[in-house]
Amino acid sequence: MSPSTSTLLTKSCYRYEGPKVSEEIAKIEARAISEAIRAGGSSPLENDEVIRILSTRSKLHLKAVNKHYKEITGNFLDQDCDDSHLILKETVQCLCTPETYFAKILEASLRCNVDELTKEAVSRVIVTRADEDMKQIREEFHRQFGIDLGKKIEDVANGNYRDFLLTLVARSD
């Protein structure tokens, strides 16, 4: 197989979301990501292997990679991503701990005096996660910020929009 064919196949793969996880492959990939982060200089997101892992592996597999990464380095992957690796950090959080990631997004978008683009995140998160993991997001939001998500929405949103958001959040009960 030529390099260009290999690259084409890698970039056209679908993400496997089945229950199988190879612990051995997860360990190898955790080492590869660790090396990409330690290499310095360029962003780990410029590393083809890191991109391949993040874009083709199942969420269960990525959680295993994150676990093995911690065994190798002593930190979870998102802990080793500083501000210069913010996109990688957010990607890992979104894939490995979505409830934590989305709770942070909701908290930021429910602050007073935020820009319109940030406010729109409330709708995006609640609408897209309502049937998935809203219960876990609500629990994580309360754990992180000490307030019920529904109460925060009541305090910040108004009218039909508030009612719409509260209805979607309540569906997770």
Q: Per residue in 81-113, pLDDT tens?
A: 877 678 888 888 888 888 888 999 999 888 888
Residue 1 has pLDDT above 50, yes or no: no
Amino acid 23: pLDDT: 95
Q: Which sign, positive or negative, has the C-alpha torsion 62, 94, 35, 69?
A: negative
Q: Per residue in 118-172, pLDDT tens?
A: 888 888 888 888 777 889 999 999 999 999 999 999 999 889 989 999 998 888 7
Q: Which residue would you say has higher pLDDT here, 1 or 112?
A: 112
Amino acid 13: pLDDT: 57
Domain 3-96, what architecture? Orthogonal Bundle (1.10)
Q: How far is CA 51 from CA 92, 125, 126, in A?
A: 11, 24, 27
Phi/psi at 167 (nearest 5 deg)?
-65, -45
The yes/no answer on whether domain 98-170 falls in CATH 3.40.50.620 is no
pTM above 0.85, yes or no: no
First to last CA, the chain: 52
Residue limits of CATH 1.10.220.10 in the chain: 3-96, 98-170
